[in-house]
Amino acid sequence: MNIFERLHSGETVPMNDPEYSRIFEVASRTMKLSAELNRSADIKEIRQLIGDIIGTPLDESTTVLAPFHINLGIFTRIGKNIFINHDCTFLDIGGISIEDDVLIGPKVSLITESHPLNPSGRKALMVKPIVIKRNAWIGAGATILPGVIVGENAVVAAGAVVNKDVPNNTVVGGVPANVIKTIG
């Protein structure tokens, strides 16, 4: 298995792994495309460049506003009728899936990557996917941490730090985020 397959299978990979440079190779390609993306003020051009970064064309119903930051991109899937506001950050080595009809506020961070707590192994990398289900709304400045599933129709309040799954049809907020109420 290559380094990405090993990470996705749950393996913790140290920085001195012989394949670790593969991460930086992909990141370098993405940084070049991201620089072009973040100089653009044209929604169609931004959509095209994000499609190039993630390896799949974005649907014309999806809008992403620059600046937009993504470390690899090849593990991100973005559905239809999505709106991603300014200055969002996606660290996607673990995989990010955004289903249809999702709203993502400004300065939202989706972080699929983490490190061991033990100081002697802290420079190793571990990943878990993030899934944002259909019709969810992620408020401004929220942070979604590795392994979280945000349920259908759920709302993550502005500034929340989400470290556990968000049930369908709920509003969560706080640090760490907790259910505030049920919708409908």
| Catalytic center residues | 115
Give dist(CA 56, CA 114) in Å, integer. Answer: 26
| d(C-alpha 150, C-alpha 183), whole Å | 14
Within 19-79, where are the H helices?
21-37, 43-54
**Distance (Å, whole) CA 172 – CA 58:** 29
- By DSSP bridging, strand 178-182 and strand 170-173 are antiparallel
Neighbours of 31 (CB within 10 A): 15
Cα–Cα distance between 54 and 36 in angstroms, integer? 15
To the nearest 10 degrees (0 to 180), the angle between helices 21-37 and 43-54 is: 170
